[in-house]
Amino acid sequence: MSSKNQQNNSCAFRTSIGGQALIEGILMRGPEKQAIVIRDQDGSLVTKVEPINQLRDKHPILGWPLIRGVVNFIDSMAKGMKAITYSASFLPEEEQEEPSKLDLWIEKKFSSDKAEKLIIGVAVVLGIALAVGLFIFLPTLLVGLIPPLRHGHDGLRTLLEGVMKLVIFLGYMGAVSQMKEMKRMWSYHGAEHKTIYCYEHGRDLTVENVRKESRFHPRCGTSFLLVVVILSIFVFIVANAFLHVDNVFLRILVKLLLLPIVVSLSYELNRWIGRHDDMVIAKILSWPGRKLQLLTTREPDEGMMEVAIESLKLVIPEKKGADAW
């Protein structure tokens, strides 16, 4: 983007609408409904719109601060996994993955609706297990193998575990960003950000207007993951000041018990940054996440922006301002 066309991306209006890149498509979630728009093999757009049933409507306690973060995180993972599975069904048959033996067993034993929910549930659990293994178990185990740190030096040990966790996370994101399939998803991710910015700036949702916007947005899901990783380092250091645990497996258990607190604090911090992204402190706090988006977003082509525009239009509420952040 040339300096002539660069714009101030601080927004007077901040929308709660957010999205997720899919395989040749985008999932966009508004306050009342969510929309999936997929670019089919023949070039046409396939749309799927569903109402959003918030858990906090039935159980208000789930919408309380420091509780809603964990609830929304798990809910987003489940809905995101379901949307990715749906988008994968539009791939050519030769590119679709064969169902695993577990998937086939579940489909055989349960009705189609229950089987789908169960398969998505298993995928979410496995995803969380992978994250725990990579970012909690592995760093704690590796640092625990360093002889001078096995007993004492609690602060240094916790700090090294945090640094290793951050290195693993950035290395993982860097490796994933180089995958051919992910490069197109990152471009759809960029299209989602640019389209939301265009909407927040009050401009007509056209490809030409969207193209001018930045692909780096402060309210980004992948940025949230980085906040979780960084904030966890500080939370574990504080906890370590009160709990002196040398045993590797007990340290892992303590971190698992603290994980919901880390996720909740990260969620609230991300909300605050999103509401105050024009403040200096918010810009400083969001800087690492914006830099991470150099890996997790790419400039989209015209077709991707068309998908993003269509998905956003489908979830804008009828009442103006009902989606304010």
Q: Express as a percent the part of the chain with pLDDT over 90.
A: 50
Taken in order 164, 166, 167, 173, is the CA torsion positive or negative?
Answer: positive
pLDDT by residue (tens digit) across 57-73? 788 888 888 888 899 88
pLDDT value of position 9: 60
pLDDT value of position 11: 66
Sheet holding 18-22, edge to edge: 18-22, 25-29, 33-39, 45-51
- Average pLDDT of the residues of the chain: 87
Residue 99 is given by DSSP the state P
Q: What is the dihedral of CA 238, 239, 245, 249, to 10 degrees?
A: -120
- Helices 248-275 and 221-242 sit at what angle, rounded to 10 degrees? 130
Please say if the pLDDT value at position 277 is more than 90: no
Q: Which residue has the higher pLDDT, 212 or 273?
A: 212
C-alpha distances in Å from residue 304, one per residue of 9, 27, 56, 125: 21, 12, 33, 31
pLDDT value of position 6: 41
pLDDT value of position 152: 67
Asked if residues 136 and 255 have their Cβ atoms less than 8 Å apart, the reply is yes
pLDDT value of position 127: 87
pLDDT by residue (tens digit) across 74-83? 888 889 999 9
Helices (H) and strands (E) counted in the chain, each on its own, are 12, 4
Confidence of residue 33 (pLDDT cuts 50, 70, 90): very high
Cα(305)–Cα(290) distance, rounded to whole angstroms?
20
